[in-house]
Amino acid sequence: MSTPTIVVVVRSYSTSFSKDTPKIDFDYSDELHLYVVSSLSPFKQYVSNILTTNPDQKKVFITDFCGYEDYFATMQFVSSLVDRETIVKTSNSIFPVAHAYYNKNDNSSTFEPGQFEFPLPFELITLCPDSQFHNLLSHASIQAQQILRVITLAHGGSLVCMDSDEIKKRLSSVDGLKILLSQIFYGKSVNDVTTFPQPIPVFDTKTSIRLLFPAGWDSWSKIKLLTTSKIYQESTQRLLRKDEDFQELLDLYGQVIQSDESSQEKMFSQLLSYLSSQSQTISTQDTSNEEIATSKTLSDFLKEITT
């Protein structure tokens, strides 16, 4: 019998961002062991044990985006589990193989800037409910798509935007999760050949999966295409248009996930202030997307995630 794949789903980091009582739901099959964590903060040690025990066992970490602060806190936790000295050699990520496939390149170790900068020892899927994008072409929506794609790309993960109700259904059981993974992830055919999912780079309302950027497909040059429209070029809103913009965001993010306890709060503040300065400009033009902006209770949130 083959070893089951471990799948950890984190719905939020902070209890203040979750509507549920903190809990972990379990479901098992011969192929998958599923752990759905309502709030990561109270269960960090438990989840850490799951993700770091048996390093050769295949694991998938799915984080449910519900806001910048919460997402960054979750990614900081995940990154803290990584030994940067050995991660490149031990990473089980599909990214190098998938990157070679999508780019029709036999050299799977040649990456563009921003790709696989912070590899993880397990697969990462960032799951974003479509409710985050009420106005798809708004500045807030474009900004959120760019930020999530840049960060997921840096970890070598996949980014998926789905119907909100469908997410709840698929994450409630192993059977539902199998359906989800078959749609968005990598599998083996009957001939044991890896199959690669088809990207969905343009918002699609005809299916439950609105957007799909599979590991290995995305790049900064593709993310820039979001701002090529004239309405964004003439805007004073600071979106990611140049490599320097991407690098600035990635540098700030890297400081957050690699910070120690003594500097963690400062790094979080710098990154969230960077985003907040943009979100304030957005909110004066587009109030329908205020949920994507950073929280007004930043100081309270920082106290929770740094203690």
Domain that holds residue 195: 5-305
- Classify residue 295 by its DSSP letter: P
Over the chain (307 residues), what is each successive 10-residue block's mean pLDDT? 89 75 92 94 95 90 91 93 62 83 77 93 93 77 91 96 91 91 77 82 90 96 88 67 94 91 84 68 38 44 48
pLDDT of residue 107: 62
Cβ pair 78, 154 in contact under 8 A:
no
Tally of structural domains, the chain: 1
Position 13, amino acid: Y
Contact at 8 Å (CB) between 223 and 45? no
What whole-number distance in Å separates Cα of residue 15 and Cα of residue 186? 32
Tell me what pLDDT residue 74 has. Answer: 95
pLDDT at 275: 78
Q: Give the pLDDT of residue 77.
A: 94
Q: What are phi and psi of 128, to 5 degrees?
A: -120, 120
